[in-house]
Amino acid sequence: MTMDSTGPESSYDAAHRQALDNRLQALRRGKGITAQQLCERLNDEIGPSTISSYEVGIRHMSVQRLVKICDCIGINAPDLLAQVARDLADASTIWVSAHLLTTTDIPELRPLRSWAIKRTAEPSVPRRQLVEFDPATIKDAAQLCGLSTEHLKELLESFRAFPSTQVAQ
């Protein structure tokens, strides 16, 4: 994760950043650590709102900050990064651009389009938010749209944030 925002961010990088932010938040919460407690462990270098802005993708933390946060919640930063890469390499998961989904005129995807419009309208959601469609989510979304899971996967491919072959195992 870098602070550099001078160039365009690839959807590949955005997917990694979002997956990392999501996993870090889940690990923090799973260990019963509040954002305030994490800030205290960081010697109040940052406040809870900064932690929150990292976790929802509004702000990007430096690698040094990531390592400090990992140390404070008792996880190994390289292991965390490797797990995120493995998660994204899972071919059964499709990362979809929520913004692109708002623009679809495919009739079968109307329920997902409506959801994406509401989701991207939330002030705390970055415009280029990526949504993880894991196998369970694909199954639920297919039922919602009245499609087979295979047909939904085919339709979602056009909204895929990055090709599955871009992620190395």
* Alpha-carbon span 110 to 116, nearest angstrom: 10
DSSP 3-state assignment of 158?
helix
Q: Where are the domains of the chain?
A: 11-88, 94-166
Of 23, 26, 46, the C-alpha closest to 36 is 46
Tell me the CATH class for 11-88. mainly alpha
pLDDT string in tens for the chain (169-residue length): 333 333 445 555 777 788 888 888 888 988 999 999 999 999 988 999 999 999 888 888 999 999 999 999 999 999 888 888 877 776 678 888 888 889 999 999 999 999 999 988 877 766 567 788 888 889 999 999 999 999 999 898 888 765 443 333 2
Q: What is the pLDDT of residue 90?
A: 67
Q: What is the pLDDT of residue 2?
A: 33
Q: Decide if 27 contacts 71 (C-beta within 8 A).
A: no
Residue 86, burial from CB neighbour count under 10 angstroms (0-12, 13-18, 19+): exposed
Instruction: Name, in order, each residue with C-beta under 8 angstroms of 140's C-beta and a sequence gap of 6 or more.
Output: none
Q: Decide if 1 contacts 13 (C-beta within 8 A).
A: no
Which pTM does this prediction carry? 0.54
